[in-house]
Amino acid sequence: MNTRTDLIVVGAGIVGLAHAYEAQRRGLTVRVIERDWAPNGASIRNFGHACITAQAGDLLPIAYRSRAGWLAASKDAGFWGREAGALVVARSEVEMAVIEQLRAERGETVQVQTAAQVRERFGAGADPDPTIIGGGFMPDDLRVDPRTAAPTLGRWLAEQERVTIEWGTAVGGFSGNTVSTSRGDFEADKIIVCVGHDLDYLFPDVAAKYEVTRCSLQMALAPAPTGYDLESAVLSGTSMNRYDAFTLMPGHAALLSELTANTPDLIDMGANVMFTRRPDGTVLLGDSHVYSDTMPPFMEAEITDRLVREISTIIGRPLPIIQNWQGIYASSPQTSLLDEQVTSVIRTISVTSGIGMTLSFGIAAETLDSL
């Protein structure tokens, strides 16, 4: 076996796979080394929402570059991807004000909606919360199915001439151009480490430098609600408390005060009340946020119940739950994107907030530009 390639990527989550996708597009040979037998981390446990418009600052152009990458990869590998946009529902004047402020800054990428327009987007047979007074539609956001996008991309990449994927192979260490694994050594000109929240296991000093910790989220799946067929991601007031584009608006302080007064339990659990519809109609519901270096696996039934009640009110349908799970991603108080050149050969890249699906292909394109 030829053990040398132009590039080694460690980790076959969406960040690692996006790097492999970009590398093979540019004619490089690439070996992906993944300890599991399929993508099984944050990349399959999320909402499948490429949340483009709600990014701000340096991350906004990366998100738009990622958008193009997602669309190209979806076409090449054949996974479900839709230019479905995102709908933010507003249930108070304070929430509407923040949407209108973002609209004033961003123009047509944020379309202010009346209550009737929001209701229409939910679908003819739907019956959303009567307290919705309007909203914002963000047409540039994308949707993919998180359970199939990365696995399908991984399988497609493995069939490409210039790509090898070593599944079930754990990386244990690095020396110069060599990666030591549970199945022997591999060499490459460049090595990119995309192990998400497990960065501390391989590079504890880098993780410590950026104060990387783990963030755990509770998620749930509901069967297809009758009459609901909206492919857009649906966000709420609590979402506007978590994405930079909204928190930078002058109305954010009033929004946070209102949320804290009216729904202190949602603020306490770090809620981002949002939901997305999978291609089979089932609905992904979430989420809450808890931070710890070692993440206890135990989920709080009360937290999921509260999130489900809130979404059931928005969607106007009872939501029986058929699955629950925990997702974990990397978090840093210093940056949302950790990109550290460890040696002249090795670079570590972890998205250190909950936007790795959004940014993955944009980050990969920038990394490959700079190799």
Ligand X SMILES: Cc1cc2nc3c(=O)[nH]c(=O)nc-3n(C[C@H](O)[C@H](O)[C@H](O)COP(=O)(O)OP(=O)(O)OC[C@H]3O[C@@H](n4cnc5c(N)ncnc54)[C@H](O)[C@@H]3O)c2cc1C
Interface with ligand X (CB under 6 A): 10-16, 33-36, 39-43, 45-47, 49, 51, 170-171, 194-196, 198, 202, 217, 219, 286-287, 327-329, 350-351, 354-358
- Residue in the structure block whose two tokens are 């920038």: 366
Nearer residue to ligand X within complex by CB, 124 or 298: 298
- For residue 261, the minimal CB distance to ligand X (Å) is 27
Q: CB atoms < 10 A from the CB of 178, how many?
A: 17
Q: What is the DSSP string of 210-263?
A: TT-EEEEEEEEEEPPPTT----SEEE-HHHHTTSHHHHTSTTHHHHHHHHHHH-
Residue 121 in contact with residue 137, Cβ under 8 Å? yes
Residue 112 in contact with residue 88, Cβ under 8 Å? no
Nearest residue to 250 (alpha-carbon basis) of 102, 54, 59, 91: 102
CA 47 to chain CA mean position, Å: 7
The Cα–Cα gap between 186 and 178 comes to 6
Tokens of 370: 């700079």
Nearer residue to ligand X within complex by CB, 31 or 35: 35
- For residue 333, the minimal CB distance to ligand X (Å) is 16
Nearer residue to ligand X within complex by CB, 220 or 249: 220
Nearer residue to ligand X within complex by CB, 128 or 196: 196
Residue 27 in contact with residue 162, Cβ under 8 Å? yes
- For residue 290, the minimal CB distance to ligand X (Å) is 11
Nearer residue to ligand X within complex by CB, 43 or 312: 43
The Cα–Cα gap between 142 and 160 comes to 26
Tokens of 88: 């933010």
- For residue 83, the minimal CB distance to ligand X (Å) is 16
- For residue 41, the minimal CB distance to ligand X (Å) is 2
- For residue 31, the minimal CB distance to ligand X (Å) is 12
Nearer residue to ligand X within complex by CB, 161 or 280: 280
